[in-house]
Amino acid sequence: MSSGLTESLATISNGHGPTELIPFSPFIQRTSNSLTPSYLYLISLDSAGSRKTMASCLNSVARFFGVDNHLNMAWEKLTYESVCAIRTTLIESNSAPSAINLKLTAIKQACKAAFRISLMNADGYEKIKLVERVKGKRVRTQRVLTSQEIQQYLKACDDNSFKGLRDAVLFLLLIGCGLRRVEAVRIMLCDIDFVTGEIIINGKGNKQRKVWMPQLTKEYLDEYIQEVRTMAPGPLILKYAINDEISLSYLKDDLSCCLAPDSVNYIVKRRGMELGGLDSFKPHDLRGSYATAQLLSGTPIQTVQKLLGHSDISTTQVYDLSDENEAKKAAMNHSVL
C-alpha cells in the first residue's frame, strides 16, 4: 500500500476531517495499454444509460487518486484499506448513502473484473467484497405536475410547428404512460397498436412490457401520425432540423436513427420552463407524476409496478404519497395548546 494511503488511514484513526484523505498515489496509475478492468465491467452492462452512470462513478473514484480517467486506473492495486478510506471520505463529505453505495458497487465490480482476468488475487478481491454498504436514506423530493401545469406545457407546444406537435406527443407519452425517456424515444411504429392504444415497451434489462395510452395521448398521437409522421417504418419520435423541416428518407426500422435520450431533457426544459414558464422539472418527474397519480387514484401498487416496469415493488413505493399526505394533514391539524 502507498505511503499516501497509509497517511490517509492514520488521519482517519486520529479523528481528523476528510479533506484530502486520499491524495495522489502514483502506484494506482496504469502504465500499460491493456484492457482495463473498469472497461471490461462497463461493456458487460446491458444499457447505455447504466454504462454512462457507472462510468461516472468510476471516474469519480479514480479522481480520489489523482487519476484523470477510470481507464487509466490500476483497479487491481486497490486494497481493503484503500476502499475503506474511500468509503469514509464519502461519508464525511455528507454524500447521500445511495450515491456512496453506487460508487462502492462500481469499485467492487471493477475489482471483480480484475479478479476474473487474473490481475487481482482471490484474497484481495474477497476482502474488498467485505466492505460494507452505507446505511441510511435521504428524504426524496417529489415533483408532481398539476393538471394546470400539464395544460401550460401543451399550450407551449401549440405553436403551429411540426416540432411542437412532436414535443406534445413526447410529453404525453412520458406523463401519460409513465415511460422513461429512453423508452419513449425507442418506440418503433411497429410497437404501437393504433386500435387498442397498446404499446410494447422495451425497458431496462431487455425486458418488454405493455402500456396503454390514455385518450388524450392517443388523440395527439393520431394527429401527429396523420399530419407529420406518416406510417413509414422506424422510430415514432422524429428528429427535426432547425428550420422545422423533416425528412423521412433517413428512417430505418432500427434504433440507429432514434432521438438521443439527452435531447429529451433539452425539449422538456425548453417547452416547459423557457416557453411555458413552469418551475423546473426533469423528464423522470413526468414518470413520477404518472405513478403518483395512479396510486392516489386507487390503482393497486402491484399494477403500477407492472406498468412502470419495476422489478422491485419498493421502487414503486417511493411514488406513493398517500402516507405523506396523511402525515402532513395530521401534523397541520395538531393543536399545540
Q: What is the pLDDT along the chain (337 residues), one digit of tens a residue?
A: 333 344 443 443 333 333 344 444 445 666 555 678 999 999 999 888 889 999 999 999 999 888 989 999 999 999 999 999 999 999 999 899 999 999 999 999 999 999 999 999 999 999 999 999 999 877 777 789 999 999 999 999 999 888 899 999 999 999 999 999 999 999 999 999 999 999 999 998 889 999 999 999 999 999 999 998 889 888 999 887 666 566 565 566 666 678 889 999 999 999 998 777 888 899 999 999 999 999 999 999 999 999 999 999 988 988 888 777 777 777 787 778 7
For residues 93 and 160, state if they share a domain.
no
Q: 211 and 70, same structural domain?
A: no
The answer to whether 133 touches 101, Cβ cutoff 8 Å, is: yes
Give the number of C-alpha atoms closer than 13 A to the C-alpha of residue 318, restricted to the C-beta side: 15
Measured distance CA(331)–CA(256) in Å, rounded: 53
Residues 112 and 152 in one domain: no
Question: Is 337 within the bounds of a domain?
Answer: no
- Same domain for 111 and 222, yes or no, is no
Comparing C-alpha atoms, which of 166, 164, 236 is closest to residue 201? 236
Burial degree of 321 (CB within 10 A; 0-12, 13-18, 19+): middle
**Pairing status of strand 192-193 against strand 208-212:** unpaired
Residue 206 in any domain: the answer is yes
The reply to whether 178 and 218 lie within a common domain is yes
In what helix (H) or strand (E) does residue 193 lie, and over which residues does it extend?
Answer: strand 192-193
Instruction: Examine the domain organization and report whether 120 and 160 are in the same domain.
Output: no
- What is residue 245's predicted lDDT score, i.e. its pLDDT? 61
Helix (H, G, I), strand (E, B) or coil at 212: strand
Within 10 A of 236 (CB to CB), how many other CB atoms are there? 24
Q: For the chain, how many structural domains are there in total?
A: 2
CATH code of residue 188: 1.10.443.10
Classify residue 251 as left (phi > 0), alpha (psi -120 to 50) or beta. Answer: beta
Domain endpoint, select from 68, 98, 129: 129
- For residues 222 and 194, the answer to whether their CB atoms sit within 8 Å is yes
Residue 187 belongs to domain spanning:
147-322
Contact 286, 264 (CB under 8 A): no
According to the model, what pLDDT value does residue 277 have?
A: 84
Q: How far is CA 94 from the centre of its chain?
A: 21
- According to DSSP, the residues that pair with 192 across neighbouring strands are 199
Q: For residues 314 and 212, state if they share a domain.
A: yes
Task: Tell me, yes or no, whether 164 lies in a domain.
Answer: yes
* Same domain (yes/no): 102, 183: no
CA–CA separation, 193 vs 47, rounded Å?
A: 26
In angstroms, the Cα distances linking 72 to 27, 32, 37 are 12, 9, 10
In a domain, 134, yes or no: no
Domain match, 106 and 210 both: no
pTM of the complete model = 0.75
- Alpha-carbon distance of 91 to 235, in angstroms, equals 44
Specify the amino acid at residue 174. Answer: L
Burial of 143 (0-12, 13-18, 19+ CB in 10 A): middle
* 170 and 50 co-located in one domain: no
The answer to whether position 160 is within a domain reads yes
Q: Bridge-partner residues for 200, per DSSP?
A: 210
* Residues 105 and 173 grouped into a single domain: no
How remote is the C-alpha of 297 from its chain's centroid?
Answer: 26
Decide if 138 is inside a domain.
Answer: no
Residue 142 lies in a domain: no
Do residues 185 and 317 both lie within one domain?
yes
Closest among 1, 147, 191, 190 to 80, alpha carbons compared: 1
44 assigned to some structural domain: yes
